[in-house]
Amino acid sequence: MMSHSSEPLTCARPSDAAVGAVVTTLSERFGNRAATGQAVREQHGHTRTYLVTQAPDIVVWPQTTEEVAEIVTLCAAHKMPIIPFGTGTSLEGHVNAPIGGVCIDLSQMNTIVAIHAEDLDCVVGPGVTRKMLNETLRDQGLFFPIDPGADASIGGMVATRASGTNAVRYGTMKDNVLSLTVVTPDGRIVKTGSRAKKSSAGYDLTRLFIGSEGTLGIITEITLKLYGIPEAISGGICSFPTVKAACDAVILTIQSGIPVARIELADQLQVKAFNLYSKLGLPETPVLFVEFHGTENGVKEQAEQFGEIVTEFGGGPFQWTAKPEERTKLWQARHDAYWASFTLRPGAQTVATDVCVPISRLAECVEATQVDIAETGIPAPIVGHVGDGNFHLGLLFFPDDEAEMAKVKPFLERLVKRALAMEGTCTGEHGVGQHKVKYMGMEHSGAALDIMRGIKGVIDPLGIMNPGKMLPAA
């Protein structure tokens, strides 16, 4: 086994004849559920970063696992690349088609197959979105907590190991999937687990496919864990003199065993954006948004305990409420962080990225990044899932300004190196996609990458599944 490259592992572009054969066969077989128009193809090879759009040769909309297996079998016979597509809300170039291929859009596989209220689980198609799922669950008093912000598809959330604001209490996708049905690159249908809450029967294939970014197979059905909607929810917002003070308050909150459901940091620049966009009227200092789930007494107690903790660190006053409309306004502002950021620099583009470090290093990492941002001269507000040590920033740059463009990539590389030097990871939840392939060799040893490539090679020997993503070449 050899060491790693900074270039992505990929396969060869198939011959024009092979591409033509696959496109013709799929067009005939799927009729208006296949499309080769340029606009549709480009929309499916588009990514919300500065990465250029790279369109597939055809987009096809299967409706069943068997149809997915049929498409994959055809592609395998012609060594044709396959790119699975959920809602296209990923941020690191997961759906680009750098050497063309077949985009399998799973949005029509959006059936909620079963809800097992007694077992607190459900079975869904990969095209079900999290909002669609939660609307259906609400009547039964249940919810699915993972919330990456965008109304992403459950299949895409599995594929990128998504998490979001609720992860501090409910975990990430890796903690909330019981079982998957996957079509592997040879066209076989694999069930990775049962509906039992836990199992020690063999290798954890479920967790292997979670976060595999479409490079090992196509997820066609998901069994998810569910939760009862809490009897009561309280939440609020709290200002702090510094990022460090806010982070220290979070550490003590978690150490104290307060089961905080959400705890989100916004830095002073992001608060300015909130004020501009959502009229929050906050002092322009770092803030924490928090939410507590429990019984009525429980959420009151949690909020009071938290209120005492924040004063120890010069924060506060902590204003909290159990009124749904006030909480909703607050969290809508938090969820609009991406859109709000543009108010800081109208006309700019953004590149949104994330890293994650041990929580004890978070303040240091954020503050060093703020200094770096200031030196770069490109505004970049920061928000963080601070309970997990995970933070995001959006660099607001003008792509026509070559001097600015030249600063973006080195800045992003410094950000990743800073996180890695603090025992962190180059991505807490966005995933690798195309953009972070070059950091995989910084984060993982050659031995670890050899195992990943070995697994890829044995499951996808032709290398047709989402080529050019996640793994660096050897």
Binding positions for its own copies, 272-311, rule CB under 8 A: 293-295, 297-298, 301, 305
Binding characters for its own copies, 33-62, by CB under 8 A (x = yes) = ------------------------------
CB of 83 to its own copies, least distance (A): 18
Among 11, 18, 132, 208, binds its own copies (CB under 8 A): 208
CA distance 249 to 231: 26
Q: Does 114 bind its own copies (CB under 8 A)?
A: no
Segment interacting with its own copies, rule: CB under 8 A, options 196-204, 234-242, 277-285, 393-401: 196-204
Q: How many residues bind its own copies (CB under 8 A)?
A: 100
Q: Does 390 bind its own copies (CB under 8 A)?
A: yes
Q: Does 365 bind its own copies (CB under 8 A)?
A: no
Q: Does 6 bind its own copies (CB under 8 A)?
A: no
Nearest CB to its own copies, comparing residues 225 and 327:
225
CA distance 120 to 6: 43
Q: Does 447 bind its own copies (CB under 8 A)?
A: yes
CA distance 366 to 362: 6
Q: To 10 degrees, what angle do helices 243-255 and 359-376 make?
A: 160
Q: Does 230 bind its own copies (CB under 8 A)?
A: yes
For residues 374, 375, 377, 383, the Cα torsion angle rounded to the nearest 10 degrees is -40
Q: Does 117 bind its own copies (CB under 8 A)?
A: yes
Binding characters for its own copies, 246-265, by CB under 8 A (x = yes) = -----x--xxxx-x------
Q: To 10 degrees, what angle do helices 16-30 and 65-77 make?
A: 160
3-class SS of residue 81: coil
Segment interacting with its own copies, rule: CB under 8 A, options 39-47, 195-203, 314-322, 331-339: 195-203
Q: Which residues in 313-345 are b (16+ Cβ under 10 Å) and which e?
A: bebbebebbbeeeebeebbebbbebbebbbbbb
CA 201 distance to own-chain centroid: 29
Nearest CB to its own copies, comparing residues 247 and 396:
247
Among 16, 28, 118, 139, binds its own copies (CB under 8 A): 118
CB of 91 to its own copies, least distance (A): 11
3-class SS of residue 93: coil
**Strand 102-105 relative to strand 58-60: parallel, antiparallel, unpaired?**
parallel
Radius of gyration of the chain (CA): 22
Q: Does 471 bind its own copies (CB under 8 A)?
A: yes
CB of 472 to its own copies, least distance (A): 10
Nearest CB to its own copies, comparing residues 191 and 279:
191
Element housing 265 (H / E)? strand 260-266
